[in-house]
């Protein structure tokens, strides 16, 4: 139990540092910025109490906000994403039942499951984030474009990271 | 009452979600730059010191390029020195330094956090109250203008970038002096729009656009960019002008904070005239 808490706290800190120090300086094609830190919310164990799921998502969003000077925007998006997480994991079917020992990830549930799980939740996160950031509907299509492209890039990076970590463990 | 509490308890997940989103919304409205301006959060203590440490590392890696840029600028400035110029017709006019006052003071600063890909962009510089930086001073780089100081903490200050939906800068066409306003449309950090240039003005592609010196923030004749495209719609009284920035906001590292030493005097004079 305490091992799970330590792993997740470490992941919390490392993902924030990765996002703030490396990825925030990455900018593809002028307007795609990948937000990989949301991986923290994706990888929280299934048996996490629901209140803790929301609260930790809110906290990691708020930490990113502190670094980026965008108070509240990321917090709102990550909380929304955490709120959707139980429903999304119920909708997507996997080869195996969700047992207490199973963790969300490619390891236990396969690439197909993880891909759809990641794409859906990252899309929800990016949609809310980019619309709050623009705060208007005038530039609707350019925002939509940003959402789709960024979702794809973020999801790819998250899956790559997941694969890397998987290899190391074996 | 009991039924209500029971209802809330049963749907506690949903209500907690609402509470946290409400909190986030409160933060957004009360703190955010665009929705309302107060950016001081990011220029405070802990986060700034981490960003600053990371920057000293990336700056080290980019040293070669930075040195080159600075050397280039030095060369350009050297050209402007009286010693490297010669008077074509000697009319005996001598610049007496006791007749000249420093109007603008420049102070070098380093960018420790930069953004250019959002709709509203900000920078953080490593100079603050201790370096006598005050809000609404101009910020320029060797290549062009950068922005205007917004909030100042002890060691840092935040800057509203030119790449911001609220920024409007007085500019002019260097060749003929017609003035207009610079606005950023949020699409590409290399381009912006110049408004209010009347249709009778003759324009050419590549015309240099500089600051006009009408505002008391930027000195006159600081380069902003060149005309990249222009178009006159039928019946319109103003041009649609697209400007290509001379500065690459992706790469700016070192900037100058501009202090207009006569700003207060100017402001007093303006107030006097308005009161009458």
Q: What's the pLDDT tens digit per position in A78-106?
A: 999 999 998 888 888 766 666 667 778 77
Distance between CA atoms of residues A160 and B111, nearest Å: 32
Across the interface, of B21, B34, B58, the residue whose CB is closest to A135 is: B34
Average of per-residue pLDDT across B18-29: 86
- Residue B237 DSSP class: S
Residue A26 has pLDDT above 80, yes or no: no
**Whole-number pLDDT of residue A58:** 93
Domain B41-79+100-164+255-260 CATH (choose: 3.40.50.620, 2.40.10.340, 2.60.120.10, 3.20.20.80): 2.40.10.340
- Comparing A155 with B100, the larger pLDDT belongs to A155
Quote the pLDDT of residue B37: 44
Which residues of chain B lie closer than 8 angstroms to A50, CB-CB? 12-13, 16
Instruction: State chain B's mean pLDDT as an integer.
Output: 81
Task: Please report the sign of the dihedral spanned by the C-alpha atoms of residue A149, residue B18, residue A8, residue A46.
Answer: negative
Give pLDDT tens digits for A34-84: 899 999 999 888 888 888 899 999 999 988 888 887 778 899 999 999 999
Mean pLDDT score across all residues of chain A? 83
Q: What is the pLDDT of residue B261?
A: 82
Cα–Cα distances (Å) from B42 to A31, B14, B38, B104, in that order, read 22, 31, 10, 28
ipTM of the prediction? 0.79
Domain ranges of chain A: 2-169
Helices A50-68 and B12-31 cross at an angle (nearest 10°) of 10
- What would the pLDDT profile of B182-206 be if each residue is shown by its tens digit? 998 888 888 999 988 888 888 888 8
B108, B110, B116, B121: CA torsion to nearest 10: -80
**Residue A126: band (very low, low, confident or very high) from pLDDT cuts 50, 70, 90:** very high
B245-254: average pLDDT: 86
Identify the closest residue of chain B to A50 by CA–CA distance: B13
What are the sequence ranges of the domains in chain B? 41-79+100-164+255-260, 169-250
- Cβ atoms B160, B166 nearer than 8 A: yes
Whether residue B122 and residue A69 make contact (CB cut-off 8 A), yes or no, is: yes
∠ CA A24-A28-A33, nearest 5°, is 40
What is residue A45's three-state secondary structure? coil
Q: Angle B63-80/B45-61 helices, nearest 10 degrees?
A: 80
User: In terms of CA atoms, which chain B residue is nearest residue A26?
Assistant: B117
Whether B41-79+100-164+255-260 shares its CATH topology with B169-250 is answered: yes
Chain A, residues 116-145, CB within 8 A of chain B, namely: 132-135, 139, 142
Contact list in B for residue A150 (CB cut-off 8 A) is none
| CATH architecture of residue range(s) B169-250 | Beta Barrel (2.40)
What percentage of chain B carries pLDDT values higher than 70? Answer: 86
Contact B117 A33 (CB under 8 A): yes
């Amino acid at each position: 139990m305490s091992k799970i808490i330590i792993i997740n706290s470490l992941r919390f800190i490392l993902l924030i540092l990765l996002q703030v120090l490396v990825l925030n300086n990455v900018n593809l094609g002028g307007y795609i910025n990948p937000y990989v830190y949301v991986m923290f919310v994706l990888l929280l164990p299934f048996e996490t109490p629901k209140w803790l799921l929301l609260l930790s998502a809110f906290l990691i969003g708020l930490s990113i906000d502190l670094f980026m000077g965008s108070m509240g925007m990321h917090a709102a998006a990550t909380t929304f994403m955490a709120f959707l997480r139980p429903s999304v994991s119920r909708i997507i079917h996997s080869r195996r039942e969700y047992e207490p020992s199973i963790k969300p990830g490619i390891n236990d549930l396969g690439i197909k499951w993880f891909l759809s799980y990641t794409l859906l939740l990252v899309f929800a996160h990016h949609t809310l984030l980019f619309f709050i950031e623009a705060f208007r509907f005038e530039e609707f299509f350019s925002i939509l474009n940003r959402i789709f492209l960024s979702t794809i890039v973020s999801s790819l990076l998250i899956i790559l990271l997941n694969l890397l970590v998987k290899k190391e463990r074996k | 009452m009991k039924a209500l509490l029971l209802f809330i308890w049963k749907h506690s997940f949903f209500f907690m979600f609402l509470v946290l989103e409400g909190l986030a919304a409160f933060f957004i409205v009360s703190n955010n730059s665009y929705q309302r301006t107060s950016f001081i959060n990011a220029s405070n203590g802990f986060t700034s010191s981490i960003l600053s440490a990371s920057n000293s590392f990336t700056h080290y890696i980019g040293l070669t390029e930075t040195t080159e840029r600075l050397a280039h600028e030095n060369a350009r400035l050297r050209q402007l020195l009286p010693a490297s110029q010669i008077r074509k017709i000697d009319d005996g006019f001598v610049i007496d330094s006791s007749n000249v006052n420093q109007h603008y003071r420049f102070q070098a600063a380093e960018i420790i956090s930069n953004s250019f890909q959002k709709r509203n962009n900000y920078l953080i510089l490593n100079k603050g109250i201790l370096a006598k930086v005050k809000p609404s001073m101009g910020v320029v780089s060797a290549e062009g203008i950068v922005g205007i100081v917004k909030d100042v903490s002890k060691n840092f200050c935040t800057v509203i970038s030119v790449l911001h939906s609220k920024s409007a800068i007085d500019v002019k066409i260097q060749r003929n002096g017609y003035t207009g306003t610079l606005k950023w449309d949020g699409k590409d950090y290399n381009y912006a729009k110049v408004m209010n240039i009347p249709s009778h003005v003759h324009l050419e592609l590549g015309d240099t656009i500089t600051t006009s010196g009408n505002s008391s923030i930027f000195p006159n004749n600081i380069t902003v960019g060149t005309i990249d495209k222009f178009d006159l719609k039928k019946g319109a009284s103003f041009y649609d002008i697209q400007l290509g920035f001379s500065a690459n906001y992706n790469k700016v590292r070192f900037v100058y904070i501009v202090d207009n030493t006569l700003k207060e005097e100017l402001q007093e004079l303006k107030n006097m005239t308005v009161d009458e």
